[in-house]
Amino acid sequence: MEIAILLFDDLTALDAVGPYEVLKLIPEAKVRFVAREPGPKRMNGGSLSLVADCSFHQVQSPEIVLIPGGPGVSSVLSDPPTLDWVRAVHKTSRWMTSVCTGSRILGAAGILRGVKATSHWLTVDSLREYGAEPVHERVVRDGKIITAAGVSAGIDMALTLVGIECGEQRAQAFQLAIEYDPQPPFNAGSPDKAPKGIVELLRSRARTK
């Protein structure tokens, strides 16, 4: 089972690495990190690089496709070779998935028209631009397209996908292997739960970017 994870400069590493740690546990999985140009991709913040081993022509028919998000998404949205690849692999894939603002890449590739989808809470409503139906939930499945909310939601998305694809027992084993028994020290992980002042702070920062 070939799993393609798209990399590009200025992505958010956890969007890719969270699901990677779950999906790589599928015994039949061959995970490929793919980019328009193979090599190290510099993350936002600058100090970390993830390496893409494969170019688009080396990964033409993956079963599972994962599109991460991050500040670099805005460049990808106007990059025809990447959008062409997303459209092409969508034709034969079993699953198209995204984390955080990666869903905007799915949208720009034209595959979210009429599709229920989510994104980071700051950007989910912008999915309407692509004809999608924004849903404020952590993991949203519509047919073979599964989108996750911001950054850390990719772990929940990957476990959901493993549950569907490989069965509940395997998903539970993977959850236990990565000891995913989350105990956040604060209760501020969504705009409904965080103090209003903090929600407003992040909204105003996002507006000025």
Q: Which is nearer to a copy of itself, 133 or 152 (CB)?
A: 152
Task: Supply the minimum distance, in Å, between the C-beta of residue 129 and a copy of itself.
Answer: 20
d(CA 184, CA 17): 19
Of residues 44 and 87, the one with the C-beta less far from a copy of itself: 44
Cβ at position 114, least distance to a copy of itself in Å: 25
Place of tokens 């034969």: 92
**DSSP assignment of 4-39, as one string?**
EEE--TT--HHHHHHHHHHHTTSTT-EEEEE-SS-E
Q: Are residues 60 and 86 in contact, defined by beta-carbon separation less than 8 angstroms?
A: no
Task: Give the residue numbers marked as catalytic.
Answer: 100
Work out how close the CB of 46 gets to a copy of itself at its nearest, in angstroms, rounded to a whole number.
8
Q: Which is nearer to a copy of itself, 109 or 149 (CB)?
A: 149
At 178, which amino acid appears?
I
**Which positions touch a copy of itself (CB under 8 A)?**
12-14, 17-18, 20-21, 24, 30-33, 40, 45, 47-51, 53, 100, 120-121, 138-139, 149-153, 155-156, 159-160, 163, 168-169, 171-173, 175-186, 188-191, 193-195, 198-199, 201-202
Comparing C-alpha atoms, which of 51, 47, 60 is closest to residue 17? 51
